[in-house]
Amino acid sequence: MAVQTSEAMEGAPADQRRPAVRGHALALVTVVVWAVTFVSTKVLLVHLAPIEILFFRFVIGFVALALLRPRILHVRGFKEERWFMLAGATGVTVYYLLENIALTFTTASIVGVVVAAAPLFTGVASAVVLKERLRAPFFVGFAVAMAGVCLVSFAGGASGGLVAEGGLGQAGLIGVALALAAAGTWAVYSIVTKKLSTFGYDSILVTRRTFAWGLAFMLPALPLLGFSPDWGSLAGVLLTIAGLFLSERGK
């Protein structure tokens, strides 16, 4: 599939190749930002519980998207709304909660490598649910990726795998299992977002509504999962951000 795309790009005119190159560049930036989140989350876990990181992360995201696109999205009945609900539950609440909890059991590098298998799970889910055809390179890539996950998970000694972190069946293996569950959840979310894309709504409004449902599903779990942040410290951080924003606006 990737080979066909490359050949098509080589034979296409320059003005047609430009959007594809821009898309690949944006995808690369997204991957870099995504990779940084594992390290930043690992640092935040020193001060916050997984559910606290999850909640504040998406509150900030929701507010940012609301400022970027203040319009209200009016959906066409519950038949569409249920897909937004499913997207919020899988792609926001369950996926990131599993990922954050996994980081409490093992390293950010291991969780990052395991969760990187999510596109492969998405491919399998697309083949089963959407009847998309998978070609031989996909299966080769899937086998190589799974072999890499096993090497990272079970390598010992200086490599920092699970054996080095405490042995099989201990905390590290739980972390890998949670990360794999997160990757599987992301596959479900990807299928749901394909359905959402057929509704014809603005992508930012769709993302914001998905965030809203994700936050709504988090609320009942907050007291059960140890949500008790240091409000004084958080207020200080928010005031600092607000001060920087206002100072920039005043220039």
The pLDDT profile of the chain, 251 residues, written as one tens digit per residue, is: 444 444 444 555 555 667 778 878 887 888 788 778 878 888 888 888 888 888 888 988 999 999 999 999 999 999 999 999 999 999 999 999 999 888 888 887 788 878 877 878 888 888 888 788 878 887 787 788 777 767 765 664 444 445 444 444 566 788 888 999 999 999 999 999 999 999 999 999 999 999 999 999 998 888 887 788 766 656 665 666 566 555 544 54
Prediction pTM value: 0.73
| H/E run at residue 103 | none
CB atoms within 10 A of CB 29: 10
Task: For residue 89, give the nearest of 214, 225, 224, 215 by alpha carbon.
Answer: 214
Q: At what angle do helices 78-87 and 171-196 cross, to 10 degrees?
A: 150
Residue 26 to residue 176: CA distance in whole angstroms: 29
**Total count of residues recorded for the chain:** 251
Rounded to 5 degrees, what are φ and ψ at 181?
Answer: -65, -40
